[in-house]
Amino acid sequence: MPDMDRWPTGRLLSTAARLVEHSWNEKLGAIGLTHAGVIAMEVLSVQGPMTQAQLAQLVRVQAQTMGKTLSRLEAHGHISRERSASDRRSHVVTLTDRGREAVVAAADMERSVLAAASIDPDSLRHELQSVVRELANRMSTTEAAIVTAAEPTVPAEAN
Q: Which of 68, 76, 67 is nearest to 95 (CA)?
A: 76
Give residue 87's region: left, alpha or beta (phi > 0; psi -120 to 50): beta
pLDDT in tens, 72-112: 999 999 999 998 888 878 889 999 999 999 999 998 888 88
User: With bands split at pLDDT 50, 70 and 90, how would you rate the model's confidence at 158?
Assistant: very low
Query: Using 50, 70 and 90 to split pLDDT, how confident is the model at 46?
Result: very high
Residue 61 CB partners (closer than 8 Å, separation 6+)? 36, 69
Higher pLDDT, 137 or 4: 4
pTM of the predicted protein model: 0.70
pLDDT in tens, 48-76: 999 999 999 999 899 889 999 999 999 99
Q: In this prediction, what percent of the chain has a pLDDT beyond 90? A: 41
Question: What percent helix, strand, coil does the chain show, rounded to 5?
Answer: 70, 10, 25
Q: Is residue 69 within 8 Å of 37, Cβ to Cβ?
A: yes
pLDDT at 153: 43
| CA neighbor of 117 nearest in space, from 1, 9, 17, 11 | 17
Asked whether 63 and 53 are in contact (CB, 8 A), the reply is: yes
